[in-house]
Amino acid sequence: MADVHVLIIDDEETFVRSLRFALKAEGMTVRGVHSGEDGLEEAGRQRPDIVLLDLRLPGIGGMETLSALRDLDPTLPVVMISAHGDTRAAVQAVKLGAVDYLTKPFELDELLHTIASTLDQGRVAEELDYHRRRDAVPVSGLIGDSTAMRTLRATVDRIAVSSASRILLLGESGTGKAVVARAIHTQSPRRDRAFVEVNCAALPEHLIEAELFGAEKGAYTGAHQKRTGLVTLADGGTLFLDEIGELPLPMQAKVLHFLENGTYRAVGSGRSATADARVVAATNRDLAEDVRQGRFREDLFYRLNVITIGIPALRDRDGDVVGLARHFAARQAAEEGCRPVELTAGAEERLRQHRWPGNVRELKNLIERLTILYPGQRIDAEDLPPEIAGASPSAAGADPVTAEVGRPALNQQLESAERDLVLDALHRASGHKGRAADLLGISRHALKRRLQRLGLS
């Protein structure tokens, strides 16, 4: 986890010193302070990737510091650190916005797992929160004036305020199922409680049950302390199970039991617990076919398939492409600290003609790259990648190999230019990523994403 910036707020100097040493050995950048006041000042000066916050602090207490950090940046992930006997307060802190909690003493492996899983979940959550906060975006976060999108917004409006507690979202990859799930939550009576997202495909199979339902200390190898499950954190709010079709069959039975009864049992526990969570599941798979093939439980399919929402593909949202492109251009420009790119009429026409197999995600990634390479500039059709720039009704059936003879792939040129810019900035900054980001005119987090995509991290 190189280039992760961790802020520790804890009044025990020895604890902070040892934790800084351990995390720096893992390649992280670590800053430790000993009061809530200093922690807020440090977080405001240079936004960390994650904060480890002690529940008991002199002066401003842990809860007050958590609240102030949330006001400073609602997307900043905060992990509470509690002593034995403070577990109930720590759980309450999680319900008020902390992403997790750890009880002293804890093992380094447990902390590293918590940091890794928190940052992974936070990437999507940050994007969704940004959608929700922007004035130009509808309350639902669902952008577009096509008939398909107007129908979708009306459906979400009705279902969000209904008593439906089990909802299934169906749609191709990249259509925005996570955005729809968030829209259902933010327009529901549960909006003030937690929205907990779980990517079922990303969780290791041997840890899925513990992640969802929690685990007692010693329940499995590496379980050095009691772990609160995501279902518990979603109590009173919304649990979003993305890629539900990727759940292993044994876990499908346990999820079905929770859906039917609202009860679950932590790994290693002899007692059942309850949670009142609205469950929104999503998949791009054909679950009916998976049932026929024996890959998905029939009873779970019918339990989920009561309230179903189909998410339209971008190619079926007539007229929405250009509006979305302009929205992404404005948003990306704000993040990079530059003016938005300006799409010419020719470029917009090419966007309309493209089939968008990657849906909204493909369009967003395109605008992000153009903003980085051509900040504030006019983008003509020739500046677009060849698969988009060459799209036209007359060329629809052209041989792609023939079309590209003698012409370098523009997307490779764009990536090469981007790589050169980043490497030059790093060289001029003597390898310091913060200064390199300043030279490029982008945020440190934006630079980090560039490095990861270019294979330079």
Q: If you write DSSP's letter for every residue of 158-215 in order, what string do you get?
A: HHHTSS--EEEEE--TTS-HHHHHHHHHHTSTTTTS-EEEEETTTS-GGGHHHHHH-B
The pLDDT of residue 405: 36
The pLDDT of residue 403: 37
126, part of any domain: no
How far is the first Cα of the chain from the last one, in angstroms, to the nearest whole number? 10
- The whole-model pTM stands at 0.59
128, part of any domain: no
The pLDDT of residue 398: 40
**421 shares a domain with 402:** no
**365 shares a domain with 416:** no
Among 275, 294, 312, the domain-final residue is 312
pLDDT digits (tens, 9 = 90+) for 436-455: 777 776 766 667 777 877 77
The CATH number given to whatever domain includes residue 290 is 3.40.50.300
Element (H or E) spanning 66, and its range? helix 62-72
The pLDDT of residue 315: 93
CB-based contacts of 14: which residues, under 8 Å, 6+ apart? none
**Distance between CA atoms of residues 179 and 142, nearest Å:** 7
CB-based contacts of 199: which residues, under 8 Å, 6+ apart? 120, 121, 242, 243
The CATH number given to whatever domain includes residue 421 is 1.10.10.60
The pLDDT of residue 165: 92
Report whether 454 contacts 418 (CB < 8 A): yes
**266 shares a domain with 169:** yes
Nearest of 151, 154, 156, 155 to residue 181 by alpha carbon: 156
The pLDDT of residue 105: 81
The pLDDT of residue 290: 94
**100 shares a domain with 62:** yes
CB-based contacts of 74: which residues, under 8 Å, 6+ apart? 97, 129, 133
The pLDDT of residue 2: 57
The pLDDT of residue 439: 74
Element (H or E) spanning 258, and its range? helix 249-261
Burial class (CB in 10 A: 0-12, 13-18, 19+), 36: buried
Strands 378-379 and 342-343: parallel
**329 shares a domain with 265:** no
Residues of the chain where predicted confidence (pLDDT) is lower than 50? 123-137, 391-409
**252 shares a domain with 151:** yes
The CATH number given to whatever domain includes residue 393 is 1.10.8.60
How many separate domains does the chain show? 4
Note the Cα 123 to chain centre separation in Å.
3
**401 shares a domain with 367:** yes
Among 259, 286, 312, the domain-final residue is 312
pLDDT digits (tens, 9 = 90+) for 163-190: 999 999 999 999 999 999 999 999 999 9
The pLDDT of residue 58: 87
**403 shares a domain with 376:** yes
**Segments forming the whole domain that contains residue 415:** 409-457
